């Protein structure tokens, strides 16, 4: 199955930009450890993964009553500070949840990708 893993919010972690250089490096190592844990796990593959620009660099497009508006900022009702995402191939939800313990303790949403079959 494919899962989209959204790193939704920092949770109890301080914002990335407020971390010292050493703390940022420690954080980066956790992402590397996560990559390694996924590589080592049977049936797991990271299909895509990116960090996203800060919320104030997002652009929102809405169409209401046929009229399209483009505005500054994230879609506030959905995500305040979506920081990044992984698209994973994994056998089941528990494998994903187990691997995610390697990442820093962000608030995370895991959504299955709809299988057309």
Partner 1 sequence: MPPELDQVVREEWGRLVALLLAHFRRLDLVEDALGDAVEAAARQWPRDGTPANPAGWLQTVARRRVVDRLRAEAMAQRRHALVVTDLERRPPRAMADPGDLVEDDLLRLVLMCTHPALAPESASALALRLVLGVSTHDIAALFLVPEPTMAARITRAKKKIVTAGIPFAVPDLAVLPDRLASVAQTAYLAFTAGYAPASGPDLLRTALAGEAVRLVRTVRALRPEDPTLTALLALMLLQHSRRDARLDDEGRLVLLDEQDRDRWHRDEIEEAGRLLASPGLLGVPLPEQAAGYLLQALVAAEHAAAPTSAQTRWDRIVILYDQLLEVSPSPPARLARAVAVAEAHGPRAGLAALDGLEVPGSHRVAAVRAELLARVGEVPAALEQLDTALAACGNDTERAHLRRRRAELAPTGG
Binding region for partner 1 (CB under 8 A) out of 15-23, 63-71, 75-83, 86-94? 86-94
Query: Which residues share a beta bridge with 70?
Result: 61
The reply on whether position 92 binds partner 1 by CB under 8 A is: yes
Choice from 60, 93, 104, 106 touching partner 1 (CB under 8 A): 93
Contact present, 5 and 45 (Cβ < 8 Å): no
Contact present, 82 and 74 (Cβ < 8 Å): yes
Number of residues that bind partner 1 (CB under 8 A): 14
Q: How far is CA 31 from the centre of its chain?
A: 11
CA distance 89 to 31: 17
Q: How far is the CB of 93 from partner 1 (least distance, A)?
A: 5
User: Footprint of partner 1 on this chain (CB under 8 A)?
Assistant: 1, 3, 90-95, 97, 110, 112, 114-115, 117
């Amino acid at each position: 199955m494919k899962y989209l893993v959204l790193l939704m919010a920092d949770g109890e972690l301080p914002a990335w930009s407020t971390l010292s250089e050493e703390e940022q490096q420690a954080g980066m190592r956790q992402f590397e450890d996560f990559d390694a844990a996924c590589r080592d796990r049977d049936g797991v593959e990271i299909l895509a993964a990116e960090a996203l620009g800060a919320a104030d660099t997002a652009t929102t497009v809405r169409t209401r009553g046929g009229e399209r508006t483009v505005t500054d900022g994230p879609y506030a009702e959905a995500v305040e500070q979506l920081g990044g995402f992984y698209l994973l191939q994994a056998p089941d939800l528990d494998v994903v949840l187990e691997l995610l313990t390697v990442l820093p303790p962000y608030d995370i949403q895991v959504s299955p990708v709809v299988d057309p079959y």
